[in-house]
Structure formats: C-alpha cells, structure tokens
Chain A
Amino acid sequence: MVTRTLAPVGLRFTGEIDLSNVHAVTEALRACGNSGDLHLDLDFLSFCDISGIRALVAHAERRDDKHRLMLHGLPAQIERVLDVVGWAELPGLAFCNCEVAA
C-alpha cells in the first residue's frame, strides 16, 4: 500500500511489493515528479522483490545529488538485495534513519 507523507514530503510503502503491484509503485513515484528531495518511508515494507527495488532505483537514476531519493527505514532484506545486485551506489540515492511523520 502507498500513502503520502507530509513531513517530510514523500511516500510511505507498507506490505509487500512484487510483480503483482510494482506498477502502482512506479506510478506513485512518477506522480511525485523529479524536483527537490523525495522521501520514501520503507520501515513497514515487509518484502520487496527485484522489480520493486528496480522501480525505486530507476526513479533515483533520473535524479541527482541535489534532487535525491531519500530512503528511510531501509529493511535489511532490501539492503542486502541492493548490495548484491550492485545498485546501492547511485548519486541520486541516499539513506536516512530519521523519523517520517504521516
């Protein structure tokens, strides 16, 4: 499930992302545009497959170090996949441990 967050401005993903719902993730990210930092709260995301991670990374690729995709509460499972497939080192991608309010 995707919900909007207000402080900071962004999206919260909960539940599981896989082939069955990855289109919704891509659409939600596209709707946010590319200006300013975009914050994603992943703390309540229990599973994300490669297609879901690719959707996040592909969105980060369209950004740069001034308009970053900030990932909050990155679950260990996603961190491990990012590391194994070698996508963690993108200039438009940043990791953050601070709180996100709805």
Chain B
Amino acid sequence: MNDHGFRHEALFYASEDEFLLGTVPFIRQGVQAGDAILVVESEEKVRLLRRELGEDASAVHFANMAQVGANPARIIPAWREFVEGHDHEGRGLRGIGEPIWAGRSADELVECQRHESLLNVAFGGGRPWRLLCPYDTEALPAYVIDEARRSHAYVSERHVELPSPQFRGIDGSAAVPDTPLRPAPREAVAITFGAEDLGNLRSFTGRYATGAGLDQTRTDDLVCAVNEIATNSVRHGGGGGTFLMWREDGNLVCEVRDRGRYDKPLADRERGHGTSTPRGLWLANQLCDLVQIRTYATGTVVRLLMKVRILTTA
C-alpha cells in the first residue's frame, strides 16, 4: 500500500482537544481541495465537529455511527456507496469513521476489529482515498490500540503520522477468523437438520424468539436469516448441519454449524449485482444485530445475534 492508493490511518487521541486537532485540519484540507467528505461519528462528535468547522461543515456529509455501524458489517457497504457514488467526479475522497468506542460489547468489539482489517481488503488496490479512524486511548484498553496498529497502514499520534510497523498487510487482513467463540451454554437447544427440516427450523426459531420477547418484525427477520444460513449449509455445507439457539446477556443467539469452508472474506458485506449471487450472509447482516463467522478445519460456524429489549415490570 502506498500514498497513491487507499490510505487507512488510525488516529490516537486522548482528549477532545486532541480529537479536534487530529480531525479538523484533515477535514479542512479536504474542503479546500474540493474533496467529497463523509464523517461517520457519534452524534456527540458530529455536533462537536459541526461547531468547530463552522461554515466548512456545509461541505461535509455526516452520518451517525451508532446507526450505520450498529452491526459493524454494514459499515463497509456504506463506505463503498460513498466511494462508488463519487466515482466519476474526479474529486478526492476523504472519510472519518470511528467504529470502536468503549460501550461496544465484547462480541461487537471483535467484529469491529475484523471490520477494520477488512477495509484494507475491500479498498486496497482500488481508487485512492483516505480514511481516518479515531481511537480514544483514554477510554479503550491497550490491546484495542495494539490491534489498531495491526489493522491500519498508518498511525497518527501526538500529531505525527507514520507508517505502522505492525500493519498486517492486505493479505494478512483477509484471513477469515478461526478464533474460538464463547461456548454455547448447556441449556442451548440443539437441532440436527437436513434439507427436509428447514420448515421446522423456521417454526422453532419463530416460537422461541416470540417467547423471548422479540417483536414480530424482528422475529420475521431472524427466522429469515436463520433459514438462509441453514439453506447455505444444505447447499454448500455438506447437506445440513446443527442448529443451536439460546438466550444470553439480553441477546437471542442462533448458531448454525456445518462442514463447509468459508473462504470469501467479504462475501457477507457485498450485496452483489444481478440476481444470481448468493445473498444469505448479506441478508443476515442487514436483518440481525451481529453476525459472527468462524471457519475451522472441521467446518464453519455462523452465529446470529438479536438484542432483546429487557421487559421490566413496573
């Protein structure tokens, strides 16, 4: 990767002042150069940046990371839309995106880190543009900052921008994770399924989700996602697999295990063109709050998470 391609840069900041010193000049340079600029940040940081930028803010598009990146696998499609949307304008492109904040759950954090690496695969070697990813070093643990040094080609700290010696490169960024997921609890319901069992799987998922307090629309979404992932197992994962479902920490979790190999690192975040491309994983990411994919020597595991609002009695 070089300055003529996609430049993926982490910005380490330890205070609001440092955040502004790292982001505002980056935005202003873009405004002066006539670049298209998209900032995906928390509502609070969007307000802060708008205030600091004054009139220059009108040349910037802002989006709320809590919405765009609620499921971190939806962030790359948003950047892709930005990049492709300005493809024929001949303008420079700049983005700021802060997908990782202290309030992310442990599972979300891992998927956000995966997202940061996959950005290199999605945009490396393509048209040149710059993406700056702020990291709050005061609020985030040291291992998160260390991982940012591996997932970004450049690091900016204390106003100095340097190539990151720890960067894992584009090829290293593509590997599908084989890290273990937290074991399913003993009380998880396990169902072995084949081609004839998809209907049963759907009705079971629907009943379980409704019983756990998921509303009808989100239950339909989960049923649809489970059906597509299980259909993938039937078609590509050895004719079937094992389905597990349980509740934990305010989430409904559905897991599909099969004997297939998952080796297309961006397949779950590409909508594809035409009607023939596989869409199951894309759909799951659009319908579910989090999707975790792991591939091992023995097969592939896909976990779908749906947050369940905790019902409290007055």
Contact = CB atoms under 8 A, between A and B. Distances in A.
Interface of A: 16, 18-20, 47, 49-51, 54, 57-58, 61, 76-77, 80-81, 84-87
Contact of B282 (A76, A80, A85): A85
A87 B234 contact: no
A50 B220 contact: no
A77 B199 contact: no
A77 B218 CA distance: 10
B275 A20 contact: no
Interface stretch (B23-31, B50-58, B224-232): B224-232
B94 to A, nearest CB: 27
Contacts of A76: 217, 220
Interface in B269-298: 271, 275-276, 279-280, 282-283, 286-287
* 4 tightest A-B CB contacts, nearest first: A84-B286, A77-B220, A85-B279, A18-B198
Contacts, number: 56
Nearest to B202: A47
A58 B198 contact: no
B221 interface: yes
Contacts of A16: 199, 202
Interface in B188-225: 195-196, 198-199, 202, 217, 220-221, 223-224
A86 B199 CA distance: 25
A84 B287 contact: yes
Contacts of B235: 19
B202 A50 contact: no
Given A18-B227, A20-B195, A80-B221, A50 B286 contact: no
Contacts of A87: 275
B231 A18 contact: yes
B220 A19 contact: no
B271 A50 contact: no
Nearest to B277: A85
B275 A54 contact: yes
B303 to A, nearest CB: 20
